[in-house]
Structure 1
Amino acid sequence: MTVSPALMRRIAEAAAQQTLPRFRQPVLIDNKVDGGFDPVTEADREAEKAIRALIGEAYPDHGILGEEFGLEGEA
Structure 2
Amino acid sequence: MFGPPAFRGPTVICLGRDYPDGGIVGPHCHARAQLIYAIAGVMEIRAAGSLWLVPPQRALWVGAGVEHAMR
Tell me the TM-score range normalised by the shorter chain. under 0.3
TM-score w.r.t. length of structure 1:
0.24
Q: Which has the higher contact order (CA 8 A, sep 6+)?
A: 2
TM-score by structure 2 length? 0.24
Write 1 or 2 for the structure with the bigger share of helix.
1
